[in-house]
Amino acid sequence: MIFSHDRPRQLARLVKAIRWLSPTARIAVHHDPQGDPLDPRLFDGIDDVHIVPDPVRGEWGDFSLVEQYLHALRWCTERLEFDWCCTLTGLSYPLRQLSEFERFLAQSGNDAYIHHFDAFDPSQWPEGTAERRFLFAYYRLPRLPYAYRIPQPVQRLLARLRERFNRVQPFLRIVPMPRKAPTRLGIRRLHRAQGDDFLLCGGRQMLNINRRALARILDFVDTHPEWTRYARRALIPDEFFFNSILVNDGGLRVGNDVLRYIKWPKLHAASGAAIEAEEVEQALSSGAPFGLKFDELVAPDALDLIDGQLGLPSNPPPNPR
């Protein structure tokens, strides 16, 4: 299950690579409608590629990213036959033979592989992150259309005032968001989601789940609307929504490994950095089945090197024989 919003030609390259390395995989694509237009003809001749209809517009750090997952996963559940579902971004790429990965999943004995941790474990996030993310209900503040004209000294003063405001009282939080997302105003919640016995888990948003785990997720969402209401007002809900459901389900076996090689530019970065050609060997030696992110505009040679290592032809036919 690929979630994309730009680089449609690189997306097509990813789809061709997956098809070449896994002739029987079902490949579904959810392409954000506000991103670069996606021409379905890019996938002409490639078997079993499905573009999810009525895609959901997404915004970084917003519940809309969870809605994208729910919409696409429900569509796949209702229309496709599969044993495992692995979510990828459009800037991901295989790092090993996918037949090995498929065999590993089938023989693992687990229902899911995700990255997860106790969100309130102080060793995982910078101090105050869990409290800020989970103990407040957030609302967007309107954008200031000419904020970029505010002199830098004034912007620094406003940032110090905001930090002081957040520090001196426990009821409200003003939180600027990365990647040009709107600033949020948080109001202290009266209760934790699902009660004190429900472990809130941070982690990565990428999922490797079998069909049983996927059914349990969707059933939980359908039978616990209060969970969705809670997450809709949280910060960056895609990093805890599904992980928390899976970890708190005592009937599932969950491995704590996201099974991805990710290059992080710094600790606690908002997103990964592009893997350069000279870093490909390290990515391949990681043992992860997929890596991210790869960007043909930043490091065009990186994917060519991987293709050579995996035996992918430079211009593979749509379907391997």
**CATH at 109:** 3.90.550.10
For residues 318 and 2, which has the higher predicted lDDT (pLDDT)? Answer: 2
Tell me what the pLDDT averaged over the chain comes to.
94
State the pLDDT at residue 316: 62
Q: Angle between the 225-232 and 211-223 helix axes, to the nearest 10 degrees?
A: 80
Asked if residue 217 and residue 73 are part of one domain, the reply reads: yes
State the pLDDT at residue 104: 98
In a domain, 274, yes or no: yes
State the pLDDT at residue 286: 97
Asked if residue 113 and residue 208 are part of one domain, the reply reads: yes
Which residue range forms the structural domain that includes residue 41?
2-119+195-310
In a domain, 315, yes or no: no
Asked if residue 203 and residue 184 are part of one domain, the reply reads: no
Asked if residue 115 and residue 165 are part of one domain, the reply reads: no
Burial class of residue 245 (count of CB atoms within 10 Å of its CB; 0-12, 13-18, 19+):
buried
Sign of CA pseudo-dihedral 211, 216, 221, 227? negative
State the pLDDT at residue 86: 99
In a domain, 128, yes or no: no
CA–CA distances in Å: residue 135 to residues 190, 210, 234, 287: 8, 31, 8, 37
pLDDT at residue 321 greater than cutoff 60 = no
State the pLDDT at residue 180: 82
CA atoms within a 13 Å half-sphere pointing along the CA-CB vector of 43: 19
In a domain, 319, yes or no: no
In a domain, 72, yes or no: yes
8 A C-beta contact, residue 242 and residue 275 = no
Q: Which residue shows structure tokens 């990710």?
A: 262
In a domain, 259, yes or no: yes
Asked if residue 143 and residue 66 are part of one domain, the reply reads: no
For residues 316 and 299, which has the higher predicted lDDT (pLDDT)? Answer: 299
CA–CA distances in Å: residue 269 to residues 125, 212, 263: 11, 32, 10
Q: What is the pLDDT of residues 17-26, one digit of tens each?
A: 999 999 999 9
For residues 174 and 266, which has the higher predicted lDDT (pLDDT)? Answer: 174
State the pLDDT at residue 315: 65
- Give residue 76's pLDDT band: very low, low, confident or very high (50, 70, 90): very high
CB atoms within 10 A of CB 102: 18
Asked if residue 11 and residue 101 are part of one domain, the reply reads: yes
Asked if residue 115 and residue 50 are part of one domain, the reply reads: yes
Closest C-alpha among 237, 159, 155 to residue 193: 237
For residues 314 and 199, which has the higher predicted lDDT (pLDDT)? Answer: 199
State the pLDDT at residue 192: 81
Asked if residue 163 and residue 43 are part of one domain, the reply reads: no
Q: Which of 44-53, 136-145, 260-269, 281-290 has the lowest mean pLDDT?
A: 260-269
In a domain, 239, yes or no: yes
- The region, left, alpha or beta by phi > 0 then psi within -120 to 50, assigned to residue 182 is beta
Terminal-residue alpha carbon distance, the chain: 23
Q: Give the CA radius of gyration of the chain.
A: 21
Look at the pTM and tell me if it is higher than 0.75: yes
Q: Rounded to whole angstroms, how far apart are CA atoms 63 and 235?
A: 8
Asked if residue 201 and residue 99 are part of one domain, the reply reads: yes
Q: What percent of the chain has pLDDT over 90?
A: 88
User: Which of 171, 188, 205 is the C-terminal boundary of a domain?
Assistant: 188
Q: Rounded to whole angstroms, how far apart are CA atoms 228 and 66?
A: 9
Asked if residue 199 and residue 155 are part of one domain, the reply reads: no
Q: What is the pLDDT of residues 212-232, one digit of tens each?
A: 999 999 999 999 999 999 999
Asked if residue 108 and residue 18 are part of one domain, the reply reads: yes
In a domain, 125, yes or no: no
Asked if residue 286 and residue 220 are part of one domain, the reply reads: yes
Count structural domains, the chain: 2
